[in-house]
Amino acid sequence: MKLMKRRTALAALGAAATTLLSGHAAAQESVTLRLHQMLPPQATIPARALIPWAKKVETESGGRIKIQLFHAMQLGGAPPQLFDQARDGVVDLTWTVLGYTPGRFNKTEVFELPFMSGSAEQSSRALQEYVEKFAADEFKDVKLIAVHTHGPGLFHTKTPVTGLESLRGMKVRGGSRIINNMLTKLGATPVGMPVPAVTEALSKGVIDGTTIPWEVTPALKVTELVKNHTTFAGKQGLYTQTFAFSMNKAAYDKLPADLKKVIDANSGIETAAFFGKAMDDGDKAGRAIAEKAGNNIVALDVAETQRWRRTAATVETDWVAEMKGKNIDGAKLASEARALIAKHTK
């Protein structure tokens, strides 16, 4: 009897030890995550945001999270497929432009409306808060790390854009359906394409100019291909685009609790602001390159900018009417977006 009791006790101790050891092994588990994005590694977001973010996560995890970065669509597919690559588990993490999948992020695209925002850091804080409050359902299929915007959008053209009249008939690249509608209203001929295609399109004459922020011009060699850049009066840019940094849900759910905490600590509004600041810093660097090259930087005055604002305002009217047809109160969302931008603008 005593022998049986001793064996039972030993078995229980063995089981407890096994549980403890397996728990310790789980706690020490390491994981490799693959991050896929569209731009070359020297571009602003890879160099100033994604690579530093990956290093921070690796450090804070004690080296137990390793992140492999794949730039310039190395793992295949096209930029509009990146969000779904994260959703479907083709890769673990992606960074992409939301406007590349038109009609999908209806509530989020309010930030793309003309003259909505200026500073990327401030607008990115606003966009993150906005998505958490009003558009979380649009990201329910992924673990959202952060959303953000770029800085003030402007024109980069082969011939100068000095006013509304000089834009008419010009073939200009737009990065989303909202921007393309705006270009049409302003008299240009919009040509939609993801940003990596801009360099070839400019060099082959497919387009006469492009709408992009300053930050991405060096990576695309835009200041070498065109010599004219047109900016607007006031703090708001002509437009902005929205971006999402997303993680596959299953990849996140599989992580031990302590590693989830590392990802969570590097998600949300401060991460959004970090990406936005990278964009703002990139804008300064991109403009400095154009200035050093002696390029022509046209600064439209307040009166001319107001003409553009009045003409572009119908884009918002169109968007609100379209959202109404989808049972979305676009006017309310535009008001909420502006209020959050004002809240986060210092």
Say if 329 falls within a structural domain: yes
Q: What is the mean pLDDT of residues 105-132?
A: 98
Identify whether 256 is part of a domain: yes
Both 224 and 319 in one domain: the answer is yes
> What global pTM score does this model have?
0.92
Residue that is last in its domain, among 257, 282, 307 = 282
Same structural domain for residues 234 and 250?
Answer: no
**Is 183 in the same domain as 303?**
yes
Tokens of 40: 């070359």
Q: Is residue 40 part of a domain?
A: yes
pLDDT at 61 over 60: yes
Predicted confidence (pLDDT) per residue in 202-220, tens digit: 999 999 999 999 999 999 9
CA-wise closest residue to 117 among 209, 304, 246, 242: 242
C-alpha 125/C-alpha 269 separation (Å) is 6
- In this structure, are 231 and 254 located in the same domain? no
Asked whether residue 148 falls in the same domain as residue 206, the answer is no
Note the pLDDT of residue 235. 93
Of 117 and 26, the structure prediction assigns the larger pLDDT to 117
Angle at 340 between CA 339 and CA 346, to 5 degrees: 100
Q: How far apart are CA 6 and CA 1, in angstroms?
A: 9
The total number of structural domains in the chain stands at 2
Q: Rounded to an integer, what distance in angstroms lies between the CA atom of residue 211 and that of residue 157?
A: 9
Position 320 confidence tier, pLDDT thresholds 50, 70, 90? very high
Q: Same structural domain for residues 130 and 39?
A: yes
Q: Is the pLDDT of residue 5 over 60?
A: no
Residue 274 CB contacts under 8 Å (≥ 6 apart), including other chains: 49, 53
Same domain, 128 and 55: yes
Q: Is residue 272 part of a domain?
A: yes
pLDDT of residue 346: 79
pLDDT of 20 over the 80 cut: no
Q: Do 251 and 121 belong to one domain?
A: yes
For residue 80, pLDDT over 90 is answered with: yes
Tell whether 13 is covered by a domain: no
282, 307, 336: which is the final residue of a domain?
282
In a domain, 9, yes or no: no
pLDDT category of residue 88 using cuts at 50, 70 and 90: very high
- Residue 21: inside a domain: no
Residue 4 has pLDDT above 60, yes or no: no
pLDDT at 22: 45
The answer to whether residue 164 scores a pLDDT higher than 60 is yes
What is the model's pLDDT at position 14?
53
27 occurs within a structural domain: no
Look at residue 12 in the predicted model and tell me its pLDDT.
Answer: 54
How is residue 9 annotated by DSSP? H
118 and 181 housed in the same domain: no
- Establish how many alpha carbons lie within 13 A of residue 325's alpha carbon, considering only the half-sphere containing its beta carbon: 6
Domain of 221, CATH number, reads 3.40.190.170
Strand, coil or helix: what is 204? coil
Q: Which of these three, 229, 253, 282, is where a domain ends?
A: 282
Whether residue 248 is found in the same domain as residue 224:
no
Q: 315: domain range? A: 154-239+293-344
Say whether both 165 and 260 belong to one domain.
Answer: no
**Among 13-27, 33-47, 136-150, 267-281, where is mean pLDDT lowest?**
13-27
Confidence of residue 9 (pLDDT cuts 50, 70, 90): low
Say if residue 318 is in the same domain as residue 276: no
